[in-house]
Chain A
Amino acid sequence: ETGVTQTPRHLVMGMTNKKSLKCEQHLGHNAMYWYKQSAKKPLELMFVYNFKEQTENNSVPSRFSPECPNSSHLFLHLHTLQPEDSALYLCASSPDEGLNTEAFFGQGTRLTVV
């Protein structure tokens, strides 16, 4: 285990539902990330938080809304998603947002939008 825990592991939701993904790390890291992993595509960076402040929003649609209440927890709130949003959503953390720091990934939430 990497020390980064994501819940739930699997989620099926309708296009009108509202759900939230949760990520938790107790590694003492200051930076947390949300990535989207779709089949046959590179990992797509969605959001970056450094010291609880959002430092990156990679042109993500507003139906995805991140929240970082403290440096150990990161949420991704989902509403009115589309079927093409079905993917593996990975949370990661690193000591800080700078260079030369490895990312520790959680096991991901497999999301299916029906």
Chain B
Amino acid sequence: GQQVMQIPQYQHVQEGEDFTTYCNSSTTLSNIQWYKQRPGGHPVFLIQLVKSGEVKKQKRLTFQFGEAKKNSSLHITATQTTDVGTYFCAGGSNDYKLSFGAGTTVTVRA
């Protein structure tokens, strides 16, 4: 079945620095969604990408969908303490199933 892998599992970032988390699928995806879960909270939808090579920005967050629609990335610039949490990608397939990655847990050093 479809598997979605995320790397790295943990990301320790100095406040103000940039970082990227990656999402890779074993199969071609129909769409990819990104969610953020704050410590002790629940996943909250951030964005969805559908088109090959699509790039979307939300303030300091840049989301990209690969040309082959098998991978995606989330790049955060000038990391702030409010960016702490776990970021999940979720890949959609043609049978409407959404497969979540294990997430990248981000901690920030002030």
Contacts and interface: CB of A to CB of B under 8 A. Distances in A.
A102 B48 contact: yes
Interface string B4-39: 100001000000000000000000001101010000
Contacts of A45: 97-98, 100
B88 A43 contact: yes
Contact of B102 (A40, A105, A107): A40
> Chain A contact residues (Cβ within 8 angstroms of B): what range?
10 to 19
Contacts, number: 50
B45 A102 contact: yes
A45 B95 CA distance: 14
Contacts of B90: 43
Given A42-B103, A43-B43, A98 B96 contact: yes
B98 A2 contact: no
Given A42-B100, A97-B96, 4 more contacts: A42-B88, A102-B48, A104-B45, A105-B35
14 contacts: A40-B9, A42-B103, A43-B100, A45-B98, A45-B100, A97-B96, A99-B92, A99-B94, A100-B50, A100-B92, A103-B35, A103-B45, A103-B98, A105-B43
